Amino acid sequence: MKRLALLVLSAYCLVLSFSGCATVPWLLPHVPRPTGTEPVGIDDGYNDYTGTLHVHSKPYSHDAYSPITRAIDVAQRQGLNYLLLTEHNNLRALRDGHEGMHGRTLVMIGEEVSTRAGHYIGLDITREPERDQPVQAIIDDINQQGGFGFIAHPYWKKSRWKDWNVTGFTGLEIYNTVHDAFEENLARVVGWAIAVPADTVYQSILDRPYDALSTWDRLLQHGKVVGIGGCDGHDHRFGDWKFAPYELVYMMVRTHLLAHELTKAALYDALRSGHCYVGMDIISDTTGFTFLAAKNRRVLAIMGDEVSFADGLTLHVYLPSPGRINLYKDGRIVAAAQQQQNWSYAVPEPGVYRVEVNHGTFPWIFSNPIYVRPAPPPTVTEQLSAPVKEVLKVPGEVLHTVSTAIDSAIKPPSSEAAAPAQASTTDDTTQPVSP
C-alpha cells in the first residue's frame, strides 16, 4: 500500500518536475480583486512588506535539497520584499556573506536551533547558542545577544514543543506550510495526484491550525505573544521529482511585515513588535490588509500594539478583497461579518482582539492582536470634580478654579509643566484616519 501511495505521489511530482510548478496557477487559480474596484484602506503610516520566513538551503541545512542561490532566486522571481533563511543549528550562511540586498529582495539569516524541547528559531544573532543546555538557557542566550526568537511548528507530530513554561520567547509559528499542510495531510496530497478537483484538495490541505491558535490564545492572556507563519521550505523532492518546491511553499503562507523602510532593523522590529499578519497568499493576495484601533478619526494602535480602553474606541478592518471577518476577543468570536471589505467594531470593553478572515471556505488571513488594556485609574481631580459638580451644581468656571487649586496642592509645579508637552507629543504622533 505504501509503495502504491509513493507511485501515485511520484506521478504528481513528475507533473511538477516537468512544469517547474507552472501548473500551479492552473490547478489553483489566483482569485483576482473585483474588477474596477480598488481596495479601500487607510494610511496608518506603515508599508506592507511581503516575504517568507523559515527557509532552508544547501549546503547549510542537511535536509535541504537545493542551494541557497536557488532559494534566493525564487524569492526574487516572486517579487518578495524579504526572505528569511533559518538554517539548522548554524549561521554559516551569515558568515559567508549571503545576508543583504539581492536585487529588490532583502535576505536575512537566522538559525533554527534543535533543542530538547523542540525547534526554536533565533533571529538577529551573530553567534550560535550552545545546544547542549536546557532550552531556557538557549532562549536566554539568544536574548542576551540582542536577538529574539519563535517556537517553530509547535504541533509537528514528530517533535511537538514540550516546554510551555519557558519565558523570554517572542512568539510562535501559528502555521507551518510543510508540516501543517503537506506532511500532516499526505493522503490528501496523494488524492490531488489522482485528479481530485484542485479547489477541493486545497480546501482540505489549508486547514485552520486549531491547536496552534488555541495555544496562542491561551498564551495571549498572560502577555504579548507574536504569531507568524513559516513556510519551512526545503525544496523537497523524491528523487528528481519536486514535491514541495520553493515556488509552491513560498506562496502558500507569507508573513507580511509592517514597517517604515525595507531594512533588516526595521523588519526585525516589526517581528518583535507583532506589527505583522499571516496571509495565505496562494488563495488571493493579502497585501494591504489592515487592522487598527482608532478614536475620533485618529489611529491609536496597529497590530501588536497596546491601547487603553476608552469610550469611542473602534477597531477597523480593511481587506484587499471581500471576505468573512471573524473578530476574536480573548480566544472567542465576539463579532463576524460576511463578505465585507471595510468593517468597524465599537470596542465595549478591554481584551485581546485579533482577526481571522476566510476567503470563501479557505482560511486566508490571521492578524496579530491589538491589546486593549483597562483604562488607567482617574486622577484625584477627576474623582473629586464629578461629584462636586453633580451634587453642588458648581458652575463650570468655578469648578475649573477649584480643580486647578487641588492639582497645585498635590502636584509639584514641574509635573504641571510637563503634562501639556507630553499630551502635545501624543497628538503629533497619532495618524489621522482617512475618510
What pLDDT is attached to residue 237? 72
pLDDT exceeds cutoff 70 at 182:
no
What pLDDT is attached to residue 430? 41
Question: Is 55 found in the same domain as 178?
Answer: yes
- From 249, 282, 315, give the residue that closes a domain: 282
What pLDDT is attached to residue 396? 52
Q: Which residue has the cell 526585525?
A: 268
Rounded CA separation 224/328 (Å)? 15
pLDDT exceeds cutoff 80 at 9:
no
Kindly tell me the burial class for residue 274, based on how many C-beta atoms sit within 10 Å of its own C-beta (0-12, 13-18, 19 or more): buried
Q: Whole domain around residue 422: which residue ranges?
A: 380-432
What pLDDT is attached to residue 207? 84
Question: Is 266 found in the same domain as 388?
Answer: no
What pLDDT is attached to residue 47? 97
Task: Sort strands 171-176 and 226-230 into parallel, antiparallel or unpaired.
Answer: parallel
Q: Which is nearest to 279 in space by CA: 331, 227, 202?
A: 227
Residue 276 has, within 13 A of its CA and on its CB side, a CA count of 31
What pLDDT is attached to residue 81? 98
What pLDDT is attached to residue 297? 86
pLDDT exceeds cutoff 50 at 35:
no
**Span 271-292, average pLDDT:** 96
Cα R_g (the chain), whole angstroms = 25
Task: Sort strands 82-88 and 105-115 into parallel, antiparallel or unpaired.
Answer: parallel
**Span 135-141, average pLDDT:** 98
Rounded CA separation 170/236 (Å)? 29
What pLDDT is attached to residue 192? 56
The runs of H, that is alpha helices, within 158-209 are: 186-193, 198-205
pLDDT exceeds cutoff 70 at 393:
no
Question: Is 388 found in the same domain as 265?
Answer: no
pLDDT exceeds cutoff 50 at 41:
no
What pLDDT is attached to residue 206? 81
Residue 359 lies in a domain: no
Over residues 316-349, the pLDDT tens digits come to 999 999 999 999 999 999 999 999 999 999 999 9
Please report, rounded to a whole number, the percentage of residues in the chain having pLDDT higher than 90: 63
Residues 6+ apart with CB under 8 A from 347: 293, 309, 313, 314, 315, 353, 372
List residues bridging with 88 in a β-sheet. Answer: 112
Query: Contact 142/300 with Cβ under 8 angstroms?
Result: no
Question: Is 272 found in the same domain as 394?
Answer: no
pLDDT exceeds cutoff 70 at 3:
no
Rounded CA separation 366/429 (Å)? 27
The runs of H, that is alpha helices, within 316-379 are: none
Question: Is 82 found in the same domain as 211?
Answer: yes
Confidence category of residue 177, pLDDT binned at 50, 70, 90: confident
Q: Which is nearest to 210 in space by CA: 165, 162, 154, 250?
A: 154
Amino acid at 407: D
Rounded CA separation 381/151 (Å)? 47
Query: Which value, to the nearest 10 degrees, does the dihedral of the CA atoms of residues 403, 408, 411, 417 take?
Result: 100
Question: Is 275 found in the same domain as 406?
Answer: no
Amino acid at 253: V
Question: Is 112 found in the same domain as 243?
Answer: yes
Residue 311 lies in a domain: no
Over residues 304-315, the pLDDT tens digits come to 999 999 999 999
Peptide bond into 320 cis (omega under 30): no
Residue 333 lies in a domain: no
Question: Is 229 found in the same domain as 119?
Answer: yes
* 250 vs 41, residue with greater confidence: 250
Question: What are 408's three cell numbers?
Answer: 497645585
Question: Is 386 found in the same domain as 262?
Answer: no
What pLDDT is attached to residue 386? 57
What is the average pLDDT value for the chain, to the nearest integer? 81
Question: Is 396 found in the same domain as 265?
Answer: no
What pLDDT is attached to residue 183? 60
The SS3 assignment for 409 reads helix
pLDDT exceeds cutoff 60 at 20:
no
Question: Is 270 found in the same domain as 406?
Answer: no
Rounded CA separation 433/390 (Å)? 35
What pLDDT is attached to residue 245? 84
Residue 332 lies in a domain: no
Q: What is the DSSP string of 9-78?
A: HHHHHHHHHHHTTTTHHHHSPPPPPPTT-PPP----S-EEE-EEEEE--BTTSTT--SBHHHHHHHHHHT
What pLDDT is attached to residue 426? 38
Over residues 107-125, the pLDDT tens digits come to 999 999 999 999 999 999 9
Residue 33 lies in a domain: no
- From 229, 264, 282, give the residue that closes a domain: 282
Residue 317 lies in a domain: no
What pLDDT is attached to residue 152? 97
Rounded CA separation 126/68 (Å)? 19
Residue 65 lies in a domain: yes
**Span 130-147, average pLDDT:** 98
Please report, rounded to a whole number, the percentage of residues in the chain having pLDDT higher than 70: 71
Rounded CA separation 391/240 (Å)? 85
What pLDDT is attached to residue 379? 76
Over residues 196-242, the pLDDT tens digits come to 554 455 556 788 999 999 999 999 999 999 999 999 999 987 666 66
Cβ atoms within 10 A of the Cβ of 419, count? 12
Rounded CA separation 53/152 (Å)? 11
pLDDT exceeds cutoff 90 at 19:
no
Query: Contact 408/340 with Cβ under 8 angstroms?
Result: no
- From 266, 282, 298, give the residue that closes a domain: 282
Number of domains in the chain: 2
Question: Is 259 found in the same domain as 144?
Answer: yes
Residue 175 lies in a domain: yes
Q: Which of 52-66, 110-124, 171-185 has the lowest mean pLDDT?
A: 171-185
